[in-house]
Structure 1
Amino acid sequence: MKEKLLNNLSLKLAAIVCAFLVWLGVVNVANPSKTITREIPVTIVNAEVLEQANMTYEVIGKSTATISFKAKTKDEYKIKSEDFYASADIAEMYDVTGAIPITVRVVSHEDLIESGPTVRSPEVIRIQTEPLQTKEFALKAYPQGTVEGGYQAGGVTMRPDTVTVKGPQSLIGQISSVGIEFDVDGADADVSGQATPGFYDANGNALEMDESVKLLSGDVAYTMRVLQLKEIPLNFIVAGNVAEGFRFVGAETTVPAITVAGTNAAVTALSEIRIQNPALNVEGARSDVTTEVDISSYLPAGLTVTGLDNTVIPVTLKVEPLEEKSFTVRTSDISLIGESSVYSYGVEAGNVEVTVRGLAEDVEGLTVSSMRPTADVGGIASGTHQIKVVLTLPENCVQTGNTDVTVHIRERNAQTEGETAASESAEESVPEESSTEAPSEAETAEGQT
């Protein structure tokens, strides 16, 4: 019998199951008490005591505490960390170590807790105090993105334009600037909105600050102007007359045009920038005149120069000597203008000399055919006349001296009568064919007559 009981596996398993059921029945009937622990946050109270002394604090180490309490086994799952409130009163701080005792109380399910709660670890919370600083910062704008092509981000107005920050001195010292960020990507008109200020270090990087650093104001309203860009040519107004035999040929500069930024209306209305400065003067000059002008002072109100490091630009007023060149013109190449049908005209054969003055590069490119020499015979009566030869020249060249050509003018009727008389005279002077018979005395007398 004994061996049967000891060697029977099924009986052993049945015994274990029965024992568990008996234990479970006892637990369910007895529901014994047990010690339970929870980890709960610790709240610092009466912090205004430090603030009134212009001080603030920072928790050193853990900011939670482990508590213990007794409750029925079946009630353990019902009791949460949120059912307790742990606090540390600044007024009870030990100044030497900065230790504050932790107290805990039940805020919910108090009927389920048999004893406690008590603080197990740590029994105190430690804080470190430091001076509290209040500092005012001028707000800065940090636009994000790029405006539309052909436009430029302009000035930003903010309301308010300053903010006051309060917090631990060590954290306030890390703040280099306070500003707002807003999106301007693709903007082609003014951008407006509201934004919450953020903190930035000396390199413009955003700083993450804890709740101990506070802004003593709300959001900031902003408006950023978006300005249109336009390239405008410079027109230099030069005064004075160069010396005799020289010519002012133009102003040269490394910046013939500038890009300006402004409102659409202001930019559209501007076609050139006229620069009239006392320094732009070539009076009596025999060589180039070099000077400098500040172009910013000639811009209309509301426009600014963009893309230049310096608005003072060099200007060279170019002065070059004039040269004279003579040309030999055949009189047959001279065209008559102003002819009348009443007269016939004849230009006396030969050559005439004409002289042209201008810049070397202009004079060298001239030819007789390109100058198209003419003589104006309009309104002139018959006779032999000296008519001035006139050249058709480029704007930068002039004809010097007077060159005349001899023109014979005759009335066409007089010319015709003369030609007829000459023709008849020629016919009479031609001898008749010889005859074998001698002329009679009567014929001889008639011929003499």
Structure 2
Amino acid sequence: MLQKFGKRVMNNFGLKILAVLFAVVLWIVVVNIDDPSNSKPYTTSVSLENKSYITSMGKWADYLDGKNTITFSVYAKRSVHNTLTNANFTATADAQKIEYDEKTGTYRVPVVVTCNRNNSSINITSKDLYLDLELEDSASKQFPIKTNTTGTVASGCALGDVEITDANVMKVSGPASVVNQIDTVVATINVDGMSTDITDRVTPVFYDAQGEVVDTTKLTLSVSTVNISAQILNTKDVELEFLTTGTPADGYQAGNITYTPQKVRIKGEAAILNTINKITIPEEVLDITDATSNIEKTVDISTYLPSGTALVISSDSKIDVTVVVEAVKTKTLQIPVTNLQVIGLSSDEKVQYEEDNIALTVSGRSSVIDALDEKTISGSIDLTDLKLGAHNVLITFELDEDTVSYADTYAAVTIESASDTSASAESDNTDGELENTSTSKKVTDR
């Protein structure tokens, strides 16, 4: 039986082999026609690993032209391609394998692409995949975070202290070309319309020396946001008072103290402001010892502000002060007795002056003395309890004793009875009438 089977197998053996081969080829053809294999491009981003290897050399790496993607070909059956997307591929580049391409003058790192699906059914045909990099020196600096505000606080209020309440220093690292552009780091808080203290969390902004914003996307920052607070205070307008020390030279006298502005606006807590009425600048600031001309000085009053207060307008701290110093001038004026008011004279008395004018000698600063008008200077005499007869009475003149000085001056007067004056007046009137009558007669006789 075996012999019969062997004969059957060997009978036309060559034809049978050809038939098998034909069947295999036919199967392959059918399969490929139904599910052909081909190459298809895919694109994915590259992850750069072990970047610390580059930074340890004092360098900073960035993707050349900002590109960190690669495109590669995958050979697989159509049915496999239908199940694949870009997301199925992962590309990594190990920075420790960085190399320099002399032909292109660039740095590059070999890229390894893997697939997380049907890995055995695909063939990544692209060879020599690289991630191109650009290298430059790295830098690291620290910057104090400055504060700034926008907006205007509510009426009657003023901005107090503005400060960073947590990290007030920013550490920056990255490419030297960017780090070296940074001049200041500023955190800004909006205080518009605020009447009470405010706190906010803000993102600091980086500026170069020209005030332009620096792009920080390539930088590594120690903090991304900071807490900033703004104190909102009450305000009050208060007067200034300047004192002087010393005495001008002989023959000279100090006068008024003039200054601008005369008031300043200060800010502080309401409880503190309520106790302040004026700001006094101590006398040692203005020394007029042996002065022969005006003392002019710019005084910074900021150091003399009451504790817990500050100026709303910082430029108001500089006050221009002038202490007037002039030569002393002495002058004798003739004051009409009609300028004197009589005090203490009873209704049945009258007073007669021996002279029509009173000689008054005054002294003071030249400008003050020259401005005096003897016709307008008034004074008074007090005759209270004085009896009839002649008296020398002290005159009180209405002069500013701070700017004009004068010696005791007396008026020689006679106090008479008013009735004597009436009788004398009647006698004088009678005589006058007779004289007028006589004259009239003379005129009439003509």
Q: Taking structure 2 as the reference length, what is the TM-score of the superposition?
A: 0.68
Counting only pairs closer than 5 Å after superposition, residues 109-128 of structure 1 correspond to structure 2 as 110=118, 114-119=121-126, 123-128=129-134
Gap change, CA 1:348 and 1:139, over 3 Å in 2: closer
**Distance in 2 (alpha carbons) for counterparts of 1:218 and 1:333:** 84
Q: Which runs of 5+ in 1 are unaligned?
A: 1-25, 420-449
**Distance in 1 (alpha carbons) for counterparts of 2:380 and 2:222:** 91
Residue 347 of structure 1 corresponds to 352
Residue 220 of structure 2 corresponds to 214
Question: Could you tell me how far 1:82 is from its partner in structure 2?
Answer: 0.9
1:238 is paired with a residue of what secondary structure? Answer: coil
Gap change, CA 1:410 and 1:256, over 3 Å in 2: closer
**Distance in 1 (alpha carbons) for counterparts of 2:97 and 2:176:** 24
Gap change, CA 1:217 and 1:405, over 3 Å in 2: same
Residue 188 of structure 2 corresponds to 181
* 1:388 aligned to which of 383, 387, 393: 393
Residue 135 of structure 1 corresponds to 141
Match for 2:39: what amino acid?
Answer: T
Residue 106 of structure 1 corresponds to 115
Gap change, CA 1:34 and 1:216, over 3 Å in 2: same
Question: Could you tell me how far 1:290 is from its partner in structure 2?
Answer: 4.5
Counting only pairs closer than 5 Å after superposition, residues 172-251 of structure 1 correspond to structure 2 as 172-211=179-218, 213-217=219-223, 219-226=225-232, 232-241=238-247, 247-251=253-257
Residue 43 of structure 1 corresponds to 47
Gap change, CA 1:347 and 1:199, over 3 Å in 2: closer
Residue 73 of structure 2 corresponds to 68
**Distance in 2 (alpha carbons) for counterparts of 1:174 and 1:126:** 26
1:159 is paired with a residue of what secondary structure? Answer: coil
Match for 1:375: what amino acid?
Answer: I
User: For the Cα contact (< 8 Å) 2:335–2:377, is it kept in 1?
Assistant: no
Return structure 1 stretches of 4+ with deviation > 6 angstroms: none
Match for 2:413: what amino acid?
Answer: T
User: For the Cα contact (< 8 Å) 2:291–2:325, is it kept in 1?
Assistant: no
The alignment covers a number of residue pairs equal to 383
Question: Could you tell me how far 1:379 is from its partner in structure 2?
Answer: 1.6
User: For the Cα contact (< 8 Å) 2:345–2:383, is it kept in 1?
Assistant: yes
Q: Taking structure 1 as the reference length, what is the TM-score of the superposition?
A: 0.68
Q: Deviations over 1:86-120 (max 9, x none)?
A: 22223443456643322222224x38x94223336
**Distance in 1 (alpha carbons) for counterparts of 2:116 and 2:220:** 30
**Distance in 2 (alpha carbons) for counterparts of 1:151 and 1:221:** 21
Residue 24 of structure 2 corresponds to none
User: For the Cα contact (< 8 Å) 2:344–2:385, is it kept in 1?
Assistant: yes
User: For the Cα contact (< 8 Å) 1:178–1:197, is it kept in 2?
Assistant: yes
Question: Could you tell me how far 1:307 is from its partner in structure 2?
Answer: 4.4
Question: Could you tell me how far 1:83 is from its partner in structure 2?
Answer: 1.7
Q: Deviations over 1:257-296 (max 9, x none)?
A: 4555555554554333222233634456554344564433
The structure with the largest alpha-carbon Rg is 1
Match for 2:73: what amino acid?
Answer: S
Question: Could you tell me how far 1:207 is from its partner in structure 2?
Answer: 1.6
Gap change, CA 1:68 and 1:346, over 3 Å in 2: closer
Question: Could you tell me how far 1:64 is from its partner in structure 2?
Answer: 1.8
Q: Deviations over 1:113-143 (max 9, x none)?
A: 94223336x6222334455444333222243
Question: Could you tell me how far 1:378 is from its partner in structure 2?
Answer: 1.6
Question: Could you tell me how far 1:237 is from its partner in structure 2?
Answer: 0.9
Q: CA RMSD in A?
A: 4.2
**Distance in 1 (alpha carbons) for counterparts of 2:391 and 2:43:** 126
Question: Could you tell me how far 1:250 is from its partner in structure 2?
Answer: 0.8
Q: Which runs of 5+ in 2 are unaligned?
A: 1-29, 424-446
Counting only pairs closer than 5 Å after superposition, residues 397-416 of structure 1 correspond to structure 2 as 397=404, 400-409=407-416
Counting only pairs closer than 5 Å after superposition, residues 199-348 of structure 1 correspond to structure 2 as 199-211=206-218, 213-217=219-223, 219-226=225-232, 232-241=238-247, 247-253=253-259, 256-258=262-264, 260=266, 262-267=268-273, 269-278=275-284, 280-282=286-288, 287-290=293-296, 293-304=299-310, 306-308=313-315, 311=318, 313=320, 315-327=322-334, 329-330=336-337, 335-340=341-346, 344-347=349-352
Q: Deviations over 1:220-271 (max 9, x none)?
A: 2222334556554432212345577754321234554455555555455433
Gap change, CA 1:70 and 1:266, over 3 Å in 2: same
State the identity %: 20
**Distance in 2 (alpha carbons) for counterparts of 1:275 and 1:364:** 31
